[in-house]
Amino acid sequence: MDLDQRIKDKMMKNNIRPSMPRTRIYKYLLEHRNHPTVDTIYKALQSELFSLSKTTVYNTLALFTDKGLVRAIGIEDKELRYDADLHTHGHFKCVKCHAIFDFELDLDTINLQGLSQFIAEDYHLNVKGVCRNCQEV
Amino acid sequence: MDLDQRIKDKMMKNNIRPSMPRTRIYKYLLEHRNHPTVDTIYKALQSELFSLSKTTVYNTLALFTDKGLVRAIGIEDKELRYDADLHTHGHFKCVKCHAIFDFELDLDTINLQGLSQFIAEDYHLNVKGVCRNCQEV
DNA sequence: TTCGTTTTTTGTAACGATTACAAATGTAGA
DNA sequence: TCTACATTTGTAATCGTTACAAAAAACGAA
């Protein structure tokens, strides 16, 4: 089964009608793991979806987030970024070059006794600092 | 030494001139650990600082954050919240009542091998879910 | 103290990401 | 095809935040 078909199946399984903008946006997120912003996605897809509206990108990402297809990551910027990678991982933001990196994270190793009173649904570990490249300068 | 004096000392130690708005804002943060927003602080202090400007609150909090007196926490909202509690802890946001809770967190228990390439300066663990009160409904 | 300089505060205007909303378009089923 | 519903679109509004320059306050030297 090819990628486009898998994307459609995934969407239908989550009660999302696989319209053209939606499948393109989801495909873009699957193929670009660099945590794009709404604007990045919008600009990238304009050439293939002539009439695409930015509102559609917003609507679609809100829908995806709601249905659990993607995660919104807000790491100190004012604009949200989106991530189709659902496996547990943290985000590192370099304060010098502003790039965002994924890093491996094993939630099981964390002592989360402090959360015993809560029903936790979603974990976001955001770390800021200096990335490898920027350390050399 | 009384609180006001300790606040002034703390500020001067961090190269922050202890002006009236600054000391009041810092004091407010020390006495209100519920992660207030800029607007909350602004409204609360208006009665005692007649001419206070919202810009001053923004400026002051940016300065405090820069000097390491407070931490800005951005937990999925568009507006930042501020926390004068510098001891390591996580933030839990209830998706039902939108309240934000602190929870104890031992960073040493986390396997952060994935960060070995980076120089980490700042950790933010944000968890979303349902708080104790909202579970009962 | 007084003058001149620097820092801080203030108010207004601008910015930018996001949302509201209603019209237009597309889609599915009878 | 017709009808009902879902989706997309464009524009306008919202709202937290920032830019900026003027006003006010604090400081240091003479």
The whole-number mean pLDDT for each consecutive block of 10 residues of chain A, a chain of 137 residues, reads 93 97 98 97 96 98 97 90 97 93 92 94 95 89
Are A62 and A111 part of one and the same domain?
Answer: no
CATH code of A97's domain = 3.30.1490.190
β-pair type (B71-73, B81-83):
antiparallel
| Residue B124 touches chain A, beta carbons under 8 Å | yes
**Of A67, A83, A99, which one is at a domain's C-terminal end?**
A83
Q: Give the nucleotide with minimal C1' distance to the Cα of B80.
A: D16
Would you say B125 and A124 are in contact if contact means Cβ atoms under 8 Å apart?
yes
CA dist A96 → A37, A92, A134, B65, B120 (Å): 19, 12, 7, 17, 12
Please tell me the distance in Å from B13's CA to the nearest CA on chain A: 24
**Rg from Cα positions in chain A:** 17
Taking residues B7-29, what's their average pLDDT?
Answer: 97
Point out the residue among A72, A75, A109 whose CB comes nearest to the CB of B109: A109
Point out the residue among B74, B105, B115 whose CB comes nearest to the CB of A103: B115
The tokens for A9 are 């199946």
**Edge-first strand listing for the sheet containing A119-130:** A100-104, A89-94, A119-130, B119-130, B89-94, B100-104
Residues in chain B with CB shorter than 8 Å from the CB of A115 are 90, 92, 103, 127
The tokens for B34 are 């519920």
Would you say A61 and A16 are in contact if contact means Cβ atoms under 8 Å apart?
no
Could you list the residue range(s) of the whole structural domain that residue B117 is in? 89-135
Are B98 and B130 part of one and the same domain?
Answer: yes
Rounded to 5 degrees, what angle do the CA atoms A110, B64, B82 make?
Answer: 50
Are B97 and B123 part of one and the same domain?
Answer: yes
**Of A47, A68, A83, which one is at a domain's C-terminal end?**
A83
User: Is strand D less than 7 A from the beta carbon of A51?
Assistant: yes
| Residue B132 touches chain A, beta carbons under 8 Å | yes
> Can you give the distance from the CA of residue B114 to the C1' of nucleotide C17 in angstroms?
31
Are A73 and A40 part of one and the same domain?
Answer: yes
Please tell me the distance in Å from B43's CA to the nearest CA on chain A: 23
Query: Length of chain A in residues, anyone?
Result: 137
Q: What per-residue confidence (pLDDT) applies to B136?
A: 83
Are A49 and A98 part of one and the same domain?
Answer: no
Per the structure, the count of domains in chain A is 2
Are B119 and B73 part of one and the same domain?
Answer: no
Q: What per-residue confidence (pLDDT) applies to B78?
A: 86
Q: What is the pLDDT of residues B57-104, one digit of tens each?
A: 999 999 999 999 999 999 977 899 999 999 999 999 999 999 999 999
Which of B112, B135, B137 is most worth mutating to test chain A (most A CB atoms within 10 A of its CB)? B112
Are B68 and B24 part of one and the same domain?
Answer: yes
